[in-house]
A and B are shown apart, each in its own frame.
Chain A
């Protein structure tokens, strides 16, 4: 997994265009959910990596986002679900950047297809080197938010 700081930075960019601060926060929280779920399975429940596959598939992310949205107050849920889902999908897309030696980093369409995909751009061990890029993304997101506030 890329670290969650990288996922935060990539989610803050689209979230900067969201007017409602609650929904903007939920986009970022949604991008945390796939890893929080898979690492919970791994560290708490001691599950095998193959058990965690749905946490990084589109169907799995949809179910996680739906379940998470139910913990919000009723009138916010309908808007919260797509925000959480967008964050989760963004997480999976960022994970596709990894180089898993050609075997793929995410089974995007599981359970409909077990095929695994990857772009093979960065070694998963070296994702920590993305931090400088993350800082630039966060600065850009902050600048967008400030300019939107000024324009009212």
Chain B
């Protein structure tokens, strides 16, 4: 089981990294979303894996529980990564509507030659 989770994290990370290295905003957003999955599962896994042991206290029997702390932290992380994705989407959308292109790289020679080029890259 551990092998399965670790490899899934690895595959998601690899896919995410490949996508954030693309040149357009949309695949980068997809890549960030995939990296968020990977990171969230990774953090969750730091509490180690357990089956049939949800951290809901059982009054009637003495049972084992999975580690609740990483779960609580990942829960907020999931919601925050949604917020981050939404902001990214809006920035990408704004950049596209302003500049009519959703390429994310600024021109190679745009920086360093003139200070007034700032903010022109979309």
> Does B bind A?
no
